[in-house]
Structures are given as structure tokens and as C-alpha cells.
Amino acid sequence: MSVPQNIGIKAIQVNIPRSYVTQDDLEETEISILGEESRTKIKGKFTKGLGQTALSFCTDHEDTASIAMSAVQKLMDTYGYKPTDFGRLEIGSETAIDRSKSIKSFVMQLFEENHSIMGVDNTNACYGGTAAFLNSLAWIESSQWDGRLALVVCADIAVYDDRAARPTGGCGAVAMVLGPDAPIVFEKGSLTNYFTHSFDFWKPNPANPHPKVDGPLSLTLYYECLENCYMQFRTRHPGTTLDKFDYVVFHTPFQNHIKKCTGRLNFLDQHQDNNDPEIIKTRSEHQTVSQQSHDAAQIFKDKVQPASLMSAMCGNGYTASLYMALSSLIFNRDLTGKRLMMFSYGSGAASSMYVLNVVGDIKFMKDALNLEERLANRVQRKVSDYDHDIKLADQLYRTAPYEPSCSLDLIESGAWYLEKIDDNWRRIYKRKE
């Protein structure tokens, strides 16, 4: 076996749930609850304030395993891969449906003719997908590699207790094929990491499927991780500024947060000394960060916003978010010859920065993704439907036996769905004709 070269992404596909609500409708509902006098305060809060357009959600026929399987199925169907092409399948998720049995093992239902396929689930909030991605890349460079491809799947469903936080929810599942001779190549020597212990977002209460969130801490910690990864990167690659990258692709809780992140990186470009006390000092200064965001508006528009389609239209996909952004960029721009900075963040906290170089033609990925048409084919649903379905998801989390009651019309043809949970808590899946 020859030494593998140009290791990276050979294919990428997303699952898009059929159901979505608009942020505009969420604002109107909020106003109807709080009273018309709240209109000036609420109107624009989610659309302009967060920078979001819509969010995806799941019916009770969908769970983390079904959206992961559907992403893999769609990838197989649109790119023409076979189950036997793969020697590794790894999952990133923080929406586990079992505390022992992996989502990977559920996805093995698509690989009945191939049992020699290593890899399990990676857990660390929104970062698990990047852990899976980096593990799989390393595998291809290692003596463990058997010449077959790796499949990385990121899948999460983001729902919050607090009505004020709900507009930052969403859903996403992305499947990627990694291997040698890829058109999107992981740049050797580009990886930097920053990990720490924090309680900014966690899911400690087994009785509650939803997270506890320390919002301000989580956003500041995101900056801390981002900046430390970037400072490590420029220490290793002197002369690094944002000019050296055609695009910057962020893990995206919501659009306006990554505007501020762009501002922070631009600010760092103007403060080349990693020990400059201004860096830590300004990180938690709300007004300063807003000004920095404003100063970097053109950079955001040129280098960041082209990756925003899926985030703006589907919301936060947690582990999938960064790779939904990459999918959006592939769909929106001709990336031939372009250099991408990628930044992955997961609360708790974990983060990595790395670089991708597009060395080949990837129009086939754009065609396979077909995002515009697929997003347009979704079903716009009412906020009351959203409220109803996420209540069912809570039941689904804690109940057996369980028979889903939502319409199968809300499941895409060819996708996998949860048929039922039996009386022994076994989740049974089917593929929609």
C-alpha cells in the first residue's frame, strides 16, 4: 500500500429535516405572549439580533440515530458509495439516545454486509464531530489503516427549556467521507488545540433532556478558545493574519456570535504580541467586542458569511454546525484553490483550529448537496406545531413503549425514521419508501 497523500474530505452530505419554523414567527409568538407593548423590544431580536432566519426541528419519528442514518443514506445515494467501501465509521454527538449503546452501533444497520468497520461515538458537547474527524484522519496516516475509507457523522438536535433560548436551537446531521487523494485536503501542521474545564453548557440532570447554559460564560469561553488556538497557530506560522485565508468557517451557535468572533480575530491581527494584556482584558467587554465586530464587518461579509446558509436556515446543529457551515460554503462558492480556516468549539470546553486546502474540483459536492432546492422543499410549520413536537420529543426521551404519532409525510422519501420504542426500550427504525 503506497503512503496516502492529500488526505481529506472526498464527499460531504447533510440531512435536512422537513420541519422548520421561521424566526419571524417565533418573534411574533413571543410578542403575542408578552403583549403588543413588547413589540419594539422583541421584533428583530431573533432575526436581526441573532442573525437567524429559521430553525429545523424533529418530529417524534426522528431522533439522533435516525438523522445520522439518513445523512449516511443520502451520502451513499448521492455519491454512489457502497457499505463495503468503509473501514471506519465514527460519530460525534451530544444528543445520545442511550448512555451505553453508541449511535454508531445504530448506524451499523446500514452496513449489514460489512462488520469490520471500527470507530465509536465521540462526546464533548459541540466538539465531538471534530474529534471524530481528526481521529479518522490520523487513522488513515497510521499503520492501522487498511486502505478503505472513513465515514464521519455529526448529528445533534438542539432544544432548550427556556423559551428565550429556543431561537438558538436547531438540528443538523452531516456525513463526510475521508480518504487519500481528496479534493479538500487537511493541511499538515495546521492543527492547534485548546481544552479546559468549565461549566458553560452541560446536561447533568437525567430527568431533563435539555442543557443547563451559562450563556455569557459560554460566549466568552468560545472567544478564549478561539483566540488561544489562533495565537498558537501564528506562533507556529509567523506572519499569520486573516489575509492568509480565503474563508473562515466557524462552529456557529448563531450568526451574530461569529460576527463577533471575526471581530476578535481581526483585533488579534492588530495585536501581534500574544502576551498583550489588551487581549484578555477586552474579551469580556461587551461594547468593545461589538465595536470590534463592527470594524470587521467587511471581513465577515467576504470570508465568513458565505458559509452561513445552513446555520441561518436550520439553526445550531451542535457537532454538525461547523460541517453544516462547510457544506454551505461548498454550495455557495467556487472553492478551487482556496484556503479555509476551520474552528471547532465544544463547551466544557474543547476546541481545535485547522486548515483545509481545496486542491481539486468539488462541483460534484455542490451538486450532491443541492441545498437551495432541498431547503425550499421543506415544510414551514407553525410555532404551535414546534411546541407540540418538542413536547413529544421529551416524551420520546423518557418513555417506553412509545409509538410516534407525527405524520410520516414529514419524513423525506428514502430517509430513516424511528418506527417505535418497544416495551423493552429497543428503538426500531425503518426506511421510508
Task: Tell me if 395 contacts a copy of itself by CB under 8 A.
Answer: no
The yes-or-no answer on residue 251 being catalytic is yes
Give residue 25's identity as a one-letter amino acid code: D
**Among the listed residues 62, 121, 246, 389, the single contact to a copy of itself using CB under 8 A:** 121
The yes-or-no answer on residue 126 being catalytic is yes
Q: How far is the CB of 133 from a copy of itself (least distance, A)?
A: 11
Q: How far is the CB of 361 from a copy of itself (least distance, A)?
A: 25
Among residue numbers 208 through 227, which ones bind a copy of itself (CB under 8 A)? 209, 211-212
Give residue 103's identity as a one-letter amino acid code: I
Query: Which residue among 27, 61, 62, 126 is the active-site one?
Result: 126
The yes-or-no answer on residue 314 being catalytic is no
Cα gap 55→33, rounded to integer Å: 20
Mapped onto helix, strand or coil, the DSSP state of residue 176 is strand
Task: Tell me if 2 contacts a copy of itself by CB under 8 A.
Answer: no
- Give, for 431, the enclosing helix (H) or strand (E): strand 427-431
Return the CA Rg of the chain.
Answer: 21
**Among the listed residues 32, 84, 144, 395, the single contact to a copy of itself using CB under 8 A:** 144
Cα gap 355→296, rounded to integer Å: 21
Query: Which residue among 27, 30, 94, 227 is the active-site one?
Result: 94
**Among the listed residues 19, 135, 316, 357, the single contact to a copy of itself using CB under 8 A:** 135
Residues 313, 314, 317, 323, Cα dihedral to 10°: -50
Please check if 260 is assigned to a binding site. yes
Phi and psi at 100, nearest 5°, equal -130, -50
Q: How far is the CB of 13 from a copy of itself (least distance, A)?
A: 21
Q: Which residue has the cell 462558492?
A: 333
Task: Tell me if 143 contacts a copy of itself by CB under 8 A.
Answer: yes
Task: Tell me if 400 contacts a copy of itself by CB under 8 A.
Answer: yes
Q: How far is the CB of 142 from a copy of itself (least distance, A)?
A: 4
Q: How far is the CB of 349 from a copy of itself (least distance, A)?
A: 7
Task: Tell me if 46 contacts a copy of itself by CB under 8 A.
Answer: no
- Contact letters (x/-) for a copy of itself, 328-367, by CB under 8 A? ------------------xxxxx-x---------------
DSSP 8-state secondary structure symbol assigned to residue 300 = I
Task: Tell me if 108 contacts a copy of itself by CB under 8 A.
Answer: yes
Please check if 74 is assigned to a binding site. no
- Closest to 229 in 3D by CA, of 218, 240, 215: 240
**Among the listed residues 10, 104, 251, 259, the single contact to a copy of itself using CB under 8 A:** 104
Cα gap 160→390, rounded to integer Å: 9
Task: Tell me if 396 contacts a copy of itself by CB under 8 A.
Answer: no
Cα-to-chain-centroid distance, residue 15: 11
Cα gap 132→109, rounded to integer Å: 20
Task: Tell me if 151 contacts a copy of itself by CB under 8 A.
Answer: no
Is the CB of 378 or the CB of 427 nearer to a copy of itself?
427
Task: Tell me if 383 contacts a copy of itself by CB under 8 A.
Answer: no
Residues 274, 276, 282, 288, Cα dihedral to 10°: -100
DSSP 8-state secondary structure symbol assigned to residue 408 = G
In this structure, the number of other CB atoms found within 10 A of the CB of residue 283 comes to 18
Residues 407, 410, 414, 416, Cα dihedral to 10°: -70
Cα gap 222→34, rounded to integer Å: 31
**Among the listed residues 6, 193, 220, 274, the single contact to a copy of itself using CB under 8 A:** 193
- Closest to 335 in 3D by CA, of 303, 362, 367: 362
Task: Tell me if 105 contacts a copy of itself by CB under 8 A.
Answer: yes
Q: How far is the CB of 188 from a copy of itself (least distance, A)?
A: 4
Positions at the binding site:
218, 260
Positions at the binding site for CoA:
218, 260
Which residues are known to be catalytic? 94, 126, 251
